[in-house]
């Protein structure tokens, strides 16, 4: 009975949907998190009579008989909408307004990308992520710096004790991708380049399609709790309905086996 396997595919699909929604809800307060969405496709069809097949020497069937085999997961992809900007008043917190990712150097030599701008200083004065990964290009803040400022175009300057003029320390760069949804999430708010995302284009904030940066702010998660709870209810109802299909199919099979 096909309905058993069809209902099973529906339950597995909605289980994955709930798992995706639960991850979104769990990361409601994660800085720079991009909510993920599950997409589904119908499976193959079995044709018991093809559309347009001959029904006689002179006539053809205007419609056919196709029976679907269920549903499958097509993709679980990030929705890259801008999250709300939150004022933190921390001079090393930087938010991106628009497109782009900060570039960080991992210890294994690879580069990763992040929307989370909650930077800190290492023991050497370098600007790093909370995991200690250095920002690329590297920017070092002098020990005697009393204030750090970052303008909208990403220029990092510092006020040095005993000096009147600001000293330029470096320039932030943003990486943009043709298909940012094709980036691979690696955890710790980091993304990795893939063939689907395309190669990164590095540019100064505010140029070549890259967004600007805002010091003292962080980009919040773009998860909408009302939307996620609504999706959760719909997924739960769909799961229940598929389970009822399996129950009904089982009862039908039980009826057949009890016939004498």
**What integer pLDDT is reported at residue 45 of this predicted model?**
84
| C-alpha distance from residue 33 to each of 27, 101, 107, 225 (Å) | 7, 12, 23, 13
pLDDT of residue 112: 97
For range 167-189, the mean pLDDT: 95
Which letter, b or e, does each residue of 131-152 get, where b requires 16 or more Cβ atoms within 10 Å of its Cβ? eebbbbeebbbeeebeebebee
230 Cβ contact list (under 8 Å, min separation 6)? none
Residue (of 137, 140, 170) closest to 153 by Cα position: 170
The H or E element that residue 75 is part of is: strand 71-78
pLDDT of residue 36: 96
What mean pLDDT is predicted for residues 171-175? 96
pLDDT digits (tens, 9 = 90+) for 185-231: 999 999 999 999 999 999 999 998 999 999 999 999 999 999 999 99
For the stretch 44-67, pLDDT in tens is 888 878 887 877 778 887 888 888
Whether the ω angle into residue 137 lies within 30 degrees of 0, i.e. cis, is: yes
* Residues 44/14/227/189 CA torsion (nearest 10 deg): -90
> Burial, 108: exposed, middle or buried (Cβ in 10 Å; 0-12, 13-18, 19+)?
exposed
Q: Is the confidence at residue 244, as pLDDT, over 80? A: yes
pLDDT of residue 50: 80
The dihedral region occupied by 89, where left means phi > 0, alpha psi between -120 and 50, and beta the remainder, is left
Q: Is the pLDDT of residue 40 over 80?
A: yes
Tokens 């057949």 — which residue?
A: 256
Residue 254: what are its φ and ψ, rounded to 5°?
Answer: -65, -40
**Cβ atoms of residues 182 and 194 within 8 Å:** yes
């Amino acid at each position: 009975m096909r309905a058993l396997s069809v209902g099973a595919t529906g339950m597995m699909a909605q289980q994955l949907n709930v798992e995706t929604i639960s991850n979104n809800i769990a990361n409601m307060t994660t800085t720079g998190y991009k909510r993920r969405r599950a997409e589904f496709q119908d499976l193959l069809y079995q044709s018991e009579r093809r559309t347009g097949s001959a029904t006689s020497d002179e006539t053809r069937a205007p419609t056919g008989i196709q029976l679907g085999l269920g549903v499958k997961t097509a993709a679980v992809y990030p929705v890259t909408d801008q999250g709300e900007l939150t004022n933190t008043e921390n001079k090393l917190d930087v938010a991106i307004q628009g497109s782009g990712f900060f570039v960080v150097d991992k210890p294994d030599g690879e580069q990763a990308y992040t929307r989370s701008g909650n930077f800190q200083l290492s023991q050497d004065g370098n600007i790093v992520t909370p995991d200690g990964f250095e920002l690329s290009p590297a920017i070092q803040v002098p020990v005697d710096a009393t204030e750090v400022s970052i303008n909208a175009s990403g220029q990092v300057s510092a006020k040095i004790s005993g000096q009147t003029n600001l000293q330029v320390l470096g320039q932030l760069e943003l990486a943009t991708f043709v298909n940012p949804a094709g980036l691979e999430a690696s955890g710790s708010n980091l993304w990795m380049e893939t063939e689907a995302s395309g190669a990164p284009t590095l540019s100064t904030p505010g140029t070549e399609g890259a967004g600007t940066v805002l010091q003292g702010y962080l980009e919040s998660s773009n998860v909408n709790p009302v939307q996620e709870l609504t999706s959760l209810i719909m997924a739960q109802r769909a799961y229940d309905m598929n389970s009822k299909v399996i129950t009904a199919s089982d009862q039908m099979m039980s009826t057949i086996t009890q016939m004498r």
